[in-house]
Chain A
Amino acid sequence: MGTGITSVLTSTFRLDERGLHMGIQNIQSKEWTVHDQMNAKKQRQKKLRRLEKLIPVFLFLCAIISILTTLGILYTLISSAIGFFGEVSFSEFFLNTEWKPWSGSFGVSPLITGTLLITGIAIIVAIPLGLATAIFLSEYASDRTRRIVKPVIEILAGIPTVVYGFFALTFVTPLIQHVIPDLKIFNALSGGIVVGIMIIPTIASLSEDAMSAVPGNIREGAYAVGATRFEVAMKVVVPAALSGIIASFVLGISRAIGETMIVTIAAGQSPTLTLDPTQSIQTLTSFIVQGTSGDTAYGSTIYYSVYAVGITLFVFTLAMNFLSQYISRRFREEY
């Protein structure tokens, strides 16, 4: 131990001695090397920083992909629809009441009524059930019940639509046939009902979010003047959360319009201008599937007609989405 200390001391001494004898210039040059080292490090860092400047560029390019997707959709639909309207007139498309593309009738109205029929039935099922579920979960259920039930309801939203289609065709249709014996095997009714079931979680979950966001003191104020739970729900919470609730309805409707597999499987492939839910119909979406699968030739009128139907569908859902965003932004109550 003694030797250790001595050696340290000597080495310090030596260093001091060396430093003393080295003269000022040497010390300066030593400082230079340190400086050089720092410079080199700075250079390296500069290089890294310059590389880092490229990162936001890459990230930005990725962000642009979403815009390109939208532009791509618009370009695809519009350019092919123009090709279609070069062969089939606007008036034929909108005014003719027959959709028989394989024999040259391109009147889109049966597909639109088919879509509206499905959407209408879905709304009748989903809005009362969805809203009631939301009110129950937000106003009546205990915290624990809500934490268990809400995710289970949301499972309904995660089930693949082909599974719903199977359910509609092999279970709901035979069930309804007990009540309405002359129901067709492929019919709008069971398709619409199952589409409605599919959008229940959209409506229930979003409405529940909107209602939970209504501050508790408003609720408590109403309870304090003697309101029942039902009165609080209907006269205080629902009006306060109305923008969110309506936005959830519109979003649900938009999903019902765009739903494809359930209606393709359960509602049939026969475009009929009817509002009779027991009939077999075809929607905009299920024609797109029918028109693209199989042996439709690229560039034929039928091929283009798929895009004309696609743009009709796109306009419908886009309008619904904008409406939903507008409602939730414009009529939002701030507390």
Chain B
Amino acid sequence: MPLRNQDDMYKRRKRRTAKNNIFRTLFFTATTVGLIVLAMLIYRVLSQGTGSLSWDFIRNFAAPYPDEAGLLAGIVGSLYLMGIVAIFSIVVGVSTAIYLEEYAKKGKLTTFIQMNIQNLAGVPSVVFGLLGLTFFVYVLDFGYSLLTGGLTMSLLVLPIIVVSSQEALRSVPSELKEASAAMGASKWQTIFRVVLPAALPGMITGSILALSRAIGETAPLLVVGAATAIYSLPDSVVDSYTVMPIQIYSWISKPGDEWPLLAAAGIIILLIFLLIMNTIAVLIRNKFQRRY
């Protein structure tokens, strides 16, 4: 005699598989929501912005009329800003990573630095803006300059570079280091000629991703006083400046039907920059990724 009713069991199993199928559809739908939103966002930006795209848009400065305004100051400002961020944050970030991975003794200080970097990564970007406003604008008296913006942004992306460089350094197998040491190389020789070249692709990828974060950030630069409209290119690092996201923001907040279209055109240019940078990062990762 069966312990359970066969019919009952059959029904239960049917219910369970039905539940499974329903939830699979739900989970699948949820996944597509993210993809659909991404597609809509891109479609929306393209459909609104392509009309305003032209060579004049890239060559012109900001202007009081939408059909004369252009993104030139923003494009150049963003590139300068990225230059400063690259110099400062890559040197400091990679050095920090080398110190933590190769030199630091395990101890309280190292753990503290490590935890501190994790926490910095979670600090809202606008708070970095406040730091920059106090220290770079007022204490060091750099004013509302390109240098202020660059240094503020460098501190903001520093944790990203440190963490990605650490990961790249960690992926270098210890056999390589030991072989180098066995040949009589000193610690620094090993690091500089063996470990760094092996970790370089990972570091470059991480740095490019960090720079692409920097090029899209708006809030901290608003706080440290990037100008919304500027009619000449910055001559030096202590000149005033604007960047693409700030110009886009200023166009979004202007009244009138034509400014949003201009903002969309600006967004297209910004996204093209991001696309190029991310493509380079992915290509480098794929080309040089070596699994030991």
A interface list, Cβ under 8 A from B = 48-49, 52, 55-56, 58-60, 62-67, 69-70, 72-73, 76-77, 80, 128-129, 132-133, 135-137, 140-141, 149, 152-153, 155-156, 158-167, 169-171, 197, 200-201, 204, 228-231, 251, 254, 257-261, 264-265, 285, 288-289, 292-293, 298, 306-307, 310, 313-314, 317-318, 320-322, 324-325
Contact = CB atoms under 8 A, between A and B. Distances in A.
The prevalent SS among residues of B at the interface is helix
A62 B104 CA distance: 12
Nearest to B253: A265
B126 interface: yes
Given A162-B218, A228-B20, A310-B127, A137 B38 contact: no
B269 to A, nearest CB: 12
Nearest to B219: A260
Contacts of A163: 41, 45, 216, 248, 267, 270-271
B134 A80 contact: yes
Contacts of A322: 119
20 contacts: A65-B92, A73-B123, A73-B128, A133-B27, A136-B27, A136-B31, A153-B34, A156-B37, A158-B212, A158-B274, A159-B274, A162-B216, A166-B260, A167-B44, A197-B34, A230-B20, A261-B245, A288-B126, A307-B130, A317-B127
Interface stretch (B109-117, B169-177, B193-201): B109-117
Contacts of B40: 171
A314 B135 contact: no
Chain B contact residues (Cβ within 8 angstroms of A): what range?
Answer: 35 or more
Interface stretch (B55-63, B79-87, B93-101, B231-239): B93-101
B187 interface: yes
Given A69-B131, A132-B27, A289 B219 contact: yes
Given A152-B38, A160-B245, A52 B186 contact: yes
Contacts of A320: 122
Nearest to A132: B30
Which of B48, B225, B252 has most A Cβ within 10 Å?
B252
A72 B126 contact: no
Contacts of B95: 58-59, 62-63
B72 interface: no
B216 A66 contact: no
A165 B31 contact: no
A140 B28 contact: yes
